[in-house]
Structure 1
Amino acid sequence: MTTPVTWWWVRHGPTHAKNMVGWRDLPADLSDTDALARLSNHLPDEAAVISSDLIRASATADAIGGERPRLPHHPDLREFHFGDWDGLGWQEVSARDPELSRAFWETPGDHVAPGGESWNQLAARVSGVVDGLNAAGHRHIIAVAHFGVILTQIARAGGMSAYDALGHKIDNLSVTQLHWDGAAWSVEAINHLP
């Protein structure tokens, strides 16, 4: 019998970057201790905590983890690998690769960022981590990750297209709650700010 699992997806603290940030290891601004305390208090005490191995996610997880059991950071929970686009502004990406950049966001799926990855590749690596942890016996999992990572799981749980999922706003330090009952997914909350 499969144990039901509730996932509490948390987007890391803000980096204040004004350009595309994928695998670049920028730190998060965790100076809003009141927001971090509200977030930690909103999350279940019995949850296991996991994060991406990028510092903005792992440091956020450490800041809200409290006494909760901490699982090792996981590289497959990293943000989109934007490859050559990482660090560029949206207009720079559009000027450099006008057709590809438009297709990447408007018809996400197999379009690959130069030197990076596609939506489908991101979704597959994140879903592999989720499926493994769903079988591990945890009832609640707090996963501190990134915008794209969280959207792949909203699409999966909500049975929606990648394009529709990309329409959701995911704020820094927000909570998206998804539930796996052992057979099917349900979406409990998206972008909740405690």
Structure 2
Amino acid sequence: MVARLWWVRHGPTHQTTFTGWRDVPADLSDAAALDRLDAYLPRDAIVVSSDLVRASATADRISSSRTRLPDTDQLREFDFGAWDGLSHDDVAQRDPVLSRAFWDNPGDVAAPEGESFFDVARRVSAVIERLAAEHPGADLIAVAHMGVILGHIGAAAGIGFRQALTHRIDPLSVTRLDRGETGWSLETVNHIA
């Protein structure tokens, strides 16, 4: 099994709207920040990424000396459905009860035509567990999105989605979970190299 899981959030997108499966690029112009991130991560790690360009390009930037696995749609951000591309205020006006429930009681609440925290956690946990089994003892760097990282730490570390939402996950930050005999433990959240 994978010994350590290093979640990396993709570079900044400068979006001020819900940005789920829309394929917007990351701003990777901060070479110094990317170099620090690259130096902080384990050299012999395996790298996998969401197939969305903002994550994939970030992974490309930090994987030159590491084994790079194919991108996967299983690490995509939440599918925000009808909310994708809308501001938080627009969503609150459009769907006031549903949008409040989405944040106040995360779990099985989803945007219209979108995914819930449970949906994302199941999807992401399945691919992480598969990769962990395929690469026993390895360090795995997974480049993905804020919602994916929060959903996985809520489920895998057993802290729940509401507690997970209290954490910040900044662009180019590292969140690490370690695998022990009893499962995953949350070691580092939102580390900026």
TM-score tier, shorter chain, comes to over 0.9
Aligned residue number for residue 68 of structure 1:
66
CA distance in 1, matches of 2:2, 2:96: 44
CA distance in 2, matches of 1:146, 1:117: 14
Q: Which amino acid aligns with 1:156?
A: A
Question: Which ranges in structure 1 are unaligned for 5 or more consecutive residues?
Answer: none
Runs of 4+ with deviation above 6 angstroms: none
Alignment pair present for 1:20 and 2:9: no
Aligned residue number for residue 128 of structure 1:
126
Q: After superposition, what is the alpha-carbon deviation per residue over 1:89-147, rounded to whole angstroms, capped at 9, x for unaligned?
A: 00000000000000011101111211111111011000000110110124100000000
Q: Is the 8 A contact 2:11 2:28 kept in 1?
A: yes
Aligned residue number for residue 30 of structure 1:
28
Aligned residue number for residue 39 of structure 1:
37
Q: Is the 8 A contact 1:8 1:175 kept in 2?
A: yes
Q: After superposition, what is the alpha-carbon deviation per residue over 1:38-61, rounded to whole angstroms, capped at 9, x for unaligned?
A: 000000011000000000000000
Alignment pair present for 1:155 and 2:150: no
Q: Which amino acid aligns with 1:78?
A: R
Q: After superposition, what is the alpha-carbon deviation per residue over 1:50-102, rounded to whole angstroms, capped at 9, x for unaligned?
A: 00000000000001112100001010100010001000000000000000000
Question: Which ranges in structure 2 are unaligned for 5 or more consecutive residues?
Answer: none
Aligned residue number for residue 91 of structure 1:
89
Q: Is the 8 A contact 1:4 1:182 kept in 2?
A: no
Q: Is the 8 A contact 1:9 1:144 kept in 2?
A: yes
Q: Which amino acid aligns with 1:17?
A: Q
Aligned length: 192
Question: 2:102 pairs with 104, 112, 116, which one?
Answer: 104
TM-score by length of 2: 0.97
CA distance in 1, matches of 2:53, 2:2: 30
CA RMSD, 1 decimal: 1.0
Q: Which amino acid aligns with 2:80?
A: F
CA distance in 2, matches of 1:23, 1:175: 22
TM-score by length of 1: 0.96
CA distance in 2, matches of 1:4, 1:175: 17
CA distance in 2, matches of 1:59, 1:177: 21
Identity across the alignment (%): 55
